[in-house]
Structure 1
Amino acid sequence: MKKIYSEFKSRQYDKCYDLFLLLNKKTYEQHLKALRKKYGKISRLVFTIDYQPITDYFGLRAGDEAIFAVSLALFQCFGGAYRIKYNEFVILNPGADYEKHLEKFNKIISNWHGVFAPYTKASVVYAEGDSQV
């Protein structure tokens, strides 16, 4: 965990949710604009995580733990992500081998266990092209 966090910090992401290893919406919009300018159409992988039942039942700290678990899985599989809404996470230009990374992500979250696991639902939508997120 320490290694992953120091690797993330070494990338000098100054516009992030430090606790969650996630880049924020403002950074997402800046990167999206730059990528559109450079490449035109952009591919995105969008994750929607329903952790509200955890927060409702166990409290905010437990909700933060759920977000952290998701962000850690995204970081391990894709090298980072953007948090654009409270429950929406995006990977920009996931690459041709995104299915391999997505499979790894799904394997990680399917192996979650403990009291919070039954309450955390992750759904993944692959948005190809330049659809608005």
Structure 2
Amino acid sequence: MATDIMALGRAVKQVQWRHHRGLDRRLADLGTTITQWDALRAISELPGASAHELALRTFQSDQAFGTLANRLAAQQLIARAPGAGRRIEHRLTPAGESLLAEASLVAHEFVTGSFADLTEPERAILLSLLTRLI
């Protein structure tokens, strides 16, 4: 019997939606969102990166990331400085590093719980399959 490919696509989307909504609710207790946490994570991983590089890494348009970066800078979570040419480089401030650390603990706990019904071998298989599709 063939797998219902549309049901499979919908199931992947439902898991993603559940993660996004659930994690956003938990991060609200820290005064942040999943989008802000993801941006801080990306900046931490690529200090000095341009807005375009960070937009790609966080699945946003350049314009959306620019708006987000303005909010993060206004909250003093990131610092931006001119780079080569028109490039603007991004770095975390100490406040941004602190929030990232707290939010990452919340995210790890949430995602761990989300996949708790799968065994370790099942999680490894799922990761392998999704990675192959990417």
- TM-score norm. by structure 1 comes to 0.33
- TM-score norm. by structure 2 comes to 0.32
When Rg is computed on C-alpha atoms for both structures, the one with the higher figure is: 2
Q: Which has the higher strand share?
A: 1
Q: Which has the higher helix share?
A: 2
Which one scores higher on RCO, CA 8 angstroms, separation ≥ 6? 1
